Amino acid sequence: MIELNKLSGAVFYLNPHLIESMECRPDLTITMMSGNVIVVKNSPQEVIDKIVAYRKKIGMESQEV
């Protein structure tokens, strides 16, 4: 799980394996594979960095294609 911030500033944790896409509209909008949409304060690069760090932590970087 990665730690993100809602627009209200509240912290929540998200399973990065379930992210389908991210768009800036202007806030970062994350669309999940379930169709749920989450708007966060975090920048796209920050989310990507957190996903990469998480995947390294669980040993998935060796499984990248």
Query: Does residue 45 lie in a domain region?
Result: yes
Instruction: Say if residue 21's pLDDT is above 60.
Output: yes
CA distance 18 to 50: 14
Query: Does residue 12 lie in a domain region?
Result: yes
CA distance 34 to 52: 22
Instruction: Say if residue 40's pLDDT is above 70.
Output: yes
Query: Does residue 65 lie in a domain region?
Result: no
State residue 36's pLDDT score: 97
Model confidence pLDDT, tens digit, residues 5-14: 999 999 999 9
Query: Does residue 17 lie in a domain region?
Result: yes
Query: Does residue 27 lie in a domain region?
Result: yes
Domain count, the chain: 1
CA distance 54 to 29: 20
Domain that holds residue 13: 2-58
Strand partners, 29: 23, 39
Query: Does residue 64 lie in a domain region?
Result: no
